[in-house]
Amino acid sequence: SETQGRKKERSNHKKEFQLGNQMATVDVNIRIDFETDYNELVLDVGKVTLGEKNRNSMKDKQRKKRQKEAVSRAMCALLNSGGGVIKAEIENTEYKYNEDGIGEDLEISFSDMLPRVLNYLDFMQNANTFLIFVKSWSLDSSGQQIVTLRTNLYSKNTTSTIVMDGTHALAFLQEKKTGSRLFSTPKTNAMKVPTDVHEESSVVDSPSEFFSKTKLTYRSKVNFSESTFVATKLVPDRDEFGEKEKSKREDVLEFMKEEVPQYVSAFANTDGGYLFFGIHSKTKEIIGFEGQPWYLSEIEKTIRELPVHHFCKEKKTINYSCKLIEVHDEERHRGYVCALHVDRFCCAVFVEEPDSWHVKGNHVMRFTMEEWIKRMVDGEAG
């Protein structure tokens, strides 16, 4: 899954070390080539398989992903640092740039950085070396002052939880800085009881009523649907029919810990809302999952560790409530539903620090959240 991929990415090919009074993240797979004949800054990304057919046939998907990330980060760093050259050793010896192209996944990663990124790039093959010449980039028509691979800021849009692109993030941050609500959607009461309340007693009427429950009936139904303010998810130990699947309890907890950050960020950055684990999103049935009461402390720890940035003086923490609600049928305890309520946050909640890079000293370094926001909102160097 996307969240699992992000978790693996955080543990690979990056190193943190002390720089001044803060921790800096460096991509150790990218090195500066000091022995080059070029006058420009040259970043060496190592071996890369190139060409549409060759990249599609790569069996080691993690290697393919690492190669794409190294090239993308190097490009992002050069665009943010006055330009330069990306140097790669061509892994597939029969490769010919004019015939084989670069590879769709690489091309998509380039175009995701900037709308007209090809205006800043030139490509050249020199024997078994591939060179990408990156021109200097500055403020574009969207107002963005920095190139970003992924903002790691989320928002909620009806039933979708989306990561903001650079333009969206810039508008959101500017709104938060000025204290206006021009950018966000009008406030809606997430606790409002729907008008089409089901008459059966086994039906729970609203998210707030559901959240206040201490016990739930297995396979009873809720009367609310997924929306800007509500998200429901099954967990890996049950299939779509509510039957148990082979899955370790640790997998259930890990799944929730991976999903929670994006929903907390999205709800906090929009207008608040509820996340329920153990409810079928289509049938609205309460299914539950096998778990332990101590899961709560792990989930709360995950929430507390989310990066937040304040424009205000109060500097409040994320306001949330989290609980496990027991699920029973007529015969026995069937597990739990995990219920999480998140309030709208005063400023900005990230899933992790923005995925944006620059060259500093002799390293390709990730911008800290504070550096990135200064560049985004104020146009200042971090």
17-40 pLDDT, tens digit each: 544 445 668 988 899 999 999 999
Could you say which of 107, 226, 254, 352 is catalytic? Answer: 226
Length of the chain, in residues: 382
Asked if 30 and 76 touch (Cβ cutoff 8 Å), the reply is no
- 63-77, 211-225, 237-251, 259-273, range with the lowest pLDDT: 237-251
The edge-to-edge listing of strands for the beta sheet with 84-90 is 31-32, 42-48, 84-90, 129-134, 121-126
Interacting residues of 61 by C-beta distance below 8 A, sequence separation 6+: none
User: Can you tell me the distance from the alpha carbon of 217 to that of 60, in angstroms, rounded to the nearest whole number?
Assistant: 45
Tell me what pLDDT residue 182 has.
42
Q: Which residue has the higher pLDDT, 67 or 189?
A: 67
Could you say which of 199, 243, 250, 331 is catalytic? Answer: 243
Of 289, 305, 286, 288, whose CA–CA distance to 297 is shortest?
Answer: 305
Highest mean pLDDT among 142-151, 186-195, 234-243, 365-374: 365-374
pLDDT reading at 164 higher than 50 = yes
Distances (CA, A) of 241 to 204, 219, 247, 250, 292: 20, 10, 16, 22, 22
Distances (CA, A) of 167 to 94, 268, 302, 373, 376: 40, 19, 28, 13, 10
Distances (CA, A) of 181 to 19, 158, 187, 270, 320: 37, 18, 10, 10, 21
pLDDT reading at 104 higher than 70 = yes
Asked if 191 and 206 touch (Cβ cutoff 8 Å), the reply is yes
Asked if 358 and 381 touch (Cβ cutoff 8 Å), the reply is no
Note the pTM of the prediction, 2 decimals. 0.85
Name the residue ranges covered by the structural domains of the chain.
2-148+355-378, 154-349
Name the band, by pLDDT with cuts 50, 70 and 90, for residue 295.
very high
Structure tokens at 299: 């989930």
Is 2 marked active-site?
A: no
Highest mean pLDDT among 19-33, 120-134, 173-187: 120-134
Is 243 marked active-site?
A: yes
Asked if 278 and 288 touch (Cβ cutoff 8 Å), the reply is yes
Tell me what pLDDT residue 151 has.
98
